[in-house]
Amino acid sequence: MNLILLGAPGAGKGTQAEVICNHLNIPAISTGNILREAVKNGTQLGLEAKSFMDSGALVPDEIVIGILKDRIGEDDCQNGFILDGFPRTVPQAKALDEMGVQIDKVIDIEVADEKIMQRLSGRRVCADCGASYHIEYKPSKSEGVCDKCGGETVLRKDDHPDTIKDRLHVYHEQTEPLKDYYQQTGKLVVVQGQEDVADTSALTLKAVEA
C-alpha cells in the first residue's frame, strides 16, 4: 500500500506514520528527516537545504523530488511506503504522478493553527536519533535526555515561535492546495486530530483499513 500523510507541520504526521509503519510493516519516509540528516552530516545536500529549513521555507522542489525518487527506489519500498512530509507542493504531487507511483490513500490530519503553535513550541527532539518529545504531553523521563539513546533533546531551530508562524503560512499557501488535488482523485481521507494522540492513531488506522 502506498500512502501519503498530509497535514500542517506539527499535526502529528510523524507519529501517525510510525503507527501505520508498525501496523502494515512498510517504511515511513520523512523528507524532513532525510534533509536533517544531510545537514547534520554536512553533505552537499545538507549545505544546500540548511538555510531554507532554518527559516521555515520549503527546500526547492527539484531537490526534494530527487531525494524522494531515490528513496522509494530502494528495496524496502517494494511492498509500499508511507510518505510523511512529501508532497508539499502541487509540482511535487505531479512529479510523483509522473514517476508512475500509484497512491492508494492520502490521509489528511487536521489540527487548528493555535494547537500547532502550542505543540511545536513545546516539542523537543533528540539531536542524535531524532526521537520526539513534548515538554507537557510527552516529556522524556529525564529532562533534556533522550529515553531511547541518551542523546540531548533540543528545540528544533524551526520550532521557534516566529519560524512556526512562517511554516504555517507556507503550509496554507503551498501545501494546503494538495487537499483539493487529492480530493479530485477521490483519494483524500480526513482525520480530525484529537487531544489524545492514541485517539488520533485509532482514527488513522481506521482510515487506512477503510
Give whichever of 176 and 202 is closer to ligand AMP, judged by the CB atom: 176
Please identify which of the residues 36, 71, 119, 156 carries the catalytic annotation.
Answer: 156
Alpha-carbon gap, residue 178 to 210, rounded angstroms: 21
- 12 is a contact residue toward ligand AMP (CB under 6 A): no
Q: Does residue 71 have an active-site annotation?
A: no
For ligand AMP, the closer of residues 5 and 188 by Cβ is 5
Q: Is 148 a catalytic residue?
A: no
Closer Cβ to ligand AMP, 47 or 206, answer by number:
47
Q: Does 32 bind ligand AMP (CB under 6 A)?
A: yes
Which of 86, 133, 181, 182 contacts ligand AMP by CB under 6 A? Answer: 86
Q: What is the DSSP pairing of strand 105-110 with strand 2-7?
A: parallel
Distance of closest approach, residue 137 Cβ to ligand AMP, in angstroms? 18
The three cell numbers locating residue 205: 488506522
Residue 28 CB, nearest approach to ligand AMP (Å): 12
Site string for ligand AMP, 52-81 (x = CB under 6 A): xx--xxxx----x-----------------
Q: How far is the C-alpha of 71 from the C-alpha of 179, rounded, in Å?
A: 24
Strand duo 132-134 + 123-126: pairing = antiparallel
In the shown chain, the binding pattern of residues 167 to 186 toward ligand AMP, with x for contact by CB under 6 A and - for none, equals x-------------------
Residue 158: Cβ within 10 Å count: 19
Residue closer to ligand AMP by CB (options 62, 199) is: 62
The residues that bridge with 84 in the sheet, in sequence order, are 5, 30
The closest alpha carbon to 171, from 125, 124, 105, 117, belongs to: 117
110 phi/psi in degrees, rounded to 5: -95, 125
Provide the 10 A C-beta neighbour count for residue 185: 11
C-alpha grid cell for residue 150? 541518551
Q: What is the binding site for ligand AMP (CB under 6 A)?
A: 9, 30-32, 35, 52-53, 56-59, 64, 85-86, 88, 92, 158, 167
Q: Which residues are annotated as catalytic? A: 13, 88, 123, 156, 167
